[in-house]
Amino acid sequence: MSENLDEIRLEGFIESLQQDRGHILETIRTRAIEDGVPIIRSETENLLRFLVMTRKPKTILEVGCAVGYSALVMHSVAQSYGGCHITTMESYEPRIEQARANFEAAGAQQDIELLTGDATPYLEEMQPDGRFDFIFLDAAKAQYVVWLPDLLRLLKPDGLLVTDNILTGGDILESRFVVTRRNRTIHTRMREFLEKVTQDPKLTSAVLFVGDGVCLTAKRQTSD
């Protein structure tokens, strides 16, 4: 219990250090939390802001839009260095309409392209290779390893893949047989994903204990 309380207190402390998000982002965030929509945690948001600000990507791919909060976070940061184009994907219809409304409210609809439906065919068919400077992956966790080859194909050399929720609420630490049956596929595939991105000599990855876990994967320009 004390560990849970300490975690809640730490999350509250981190949130207290958050810079002003602005009225639109704060409104979207508050509504999403009230409606039970999964959005990035404050500490993950801070990391995402930092990465976008320091790398200054001009082309961003996001897999997992929800109501558009994280796309708008990246868009707001990008405005400080001249802007970027964001391609984002969402398959859940009620969230699609809300995301569109949020992009319009923020005046970002010209910079953010929303692709609707299953991400798999989009990723398989996207051209050219090396199209994106920065990819944020925050969608169906069981699909991460399935999408990985296309994500790496679409990532530019020296590009960055940021993958959220890789600790799966702590389940990643457990034996497959301890995890509830409905989560076993996620557990198995997430471990496979992490093994691939950390052991591939063409990649450099760091697993961070931020939020529910974030994996940063850089694609090297040339293999060793």
Q: Which long-range contacts does 46-55 make (Cβ < 8 Å, 24+ apart)?
A: 46/14, 46/18, 47/208, 47/210, 47/214, 48/73, 48/74, 48/136, 48/162, 49/73, 49/77, 51/134, 51/160, 51/162, 51/216, 52/77, 52/78, 52/134, 53/77, 53/80, 53/81, 55/133, 55/134, 55/160
Span 87-116, pLDDT tens digits = 999 999 999 999 999 999 999 999 999 999
More confident residue, 25 or 223: 25
pLDDT tens-digit readout, 49-64: 999 999 999 999 999 9
Q: Specify the pLDDT at position 188.
A: 82
The set of residues, in sequence order, having a beta carbon less than 8 Å from that of 55 and lying 6+ positions away, is 133, 134, 160
Locate the domains of the chain by residue range: 2-219
Q: Residue 224's pLDDT is what?
A: 47
pTM of the model: 0.90
Spatial distance between the Cα atoms of 216 and 136, rounded to a whole number of angstroms: 10
The more confidently predicted of residues 202 and 2 is 202
Look at the domain 2-219 and name its fold.
Rossmann fold (3.40.50)
Model pLDDT for residues 109-164, shown as the tens digit of each residue: 999 999 999 999 999 999 999 999 999 999 999 999 999 999 999 999 999 999 99
